[in-house]
Amino acid sequence: MAPAQEKLKSDDELPDLESVVDMTTFSQILEMDDPDDHSFSSSIVFDFFDQAEQTFTEMDDALDAKDLYELSARGHFLKGSSATLGLVKVRDGCEKIQRYGKKENVDGTPEPDEALCLSRIEDVIKVVKDDISDARRVLTSYYDKKEKEDA
């Protein structure tokens, strides 16, 4: 089953798979696929993207409500699922969201200025959304190529 085709720029403009995904982690997921059938791993990957989209909607709502606790919780949630796939940039960005939501700096020291924490979260969310968009494009291309190779 092929993932939904997205409007991609040329393949030359796609980041390398290795720059988006930790291949050691991702390879563990790929090992669960049957030979010549990547539907198991692709379902995990594309379910993650659907889940991330929903989580970003929740984050946007929490940002509007200035709800640091919810932002931290959503960051923690997305951090775990992105780490499972090996999406290191996404994981690291979500770690920042989690910390800022807990009124901490990246190094874990307290940051009492809630407005500063919210501003930082808003900035990081934009970066993480871009990182997830890159990951989706790269992994869509990866699975499209695998499907053609297996045909």
Q: What's the whole-number mean pLDDT along residues 122-143?
A: 97
Residue pair 45/57 in contact by the 8 Å Cβ criterion: no
Residue 3 has pLDDT above 70, yes or no: no
Residue 86 region, left (φ>0) first, then alpha (ψ -120 to 50), else beta? left
Which residue spans within the chain are E strands per DSSP? Answer: none
Measuring CA to CA, how many Å separate 95 from each of 60, 80, 105?
17, 9, 11
Residue 149 has pLDDT above 90, yes or no: no
Task: State pLDDT tens for residues 26-41.
Answer: 999 999 999 889 999 9
Q: Measure the N-to-C terminal CA separation of the chain; round to a whole number of Å.
A: 12
User: pTM value?
Assistant: 0.88
Residue pair 74/100 in contact by the 8 Å Cβ criterion: no
Amino acid 85 reads L
pLDDT at site 12: 54
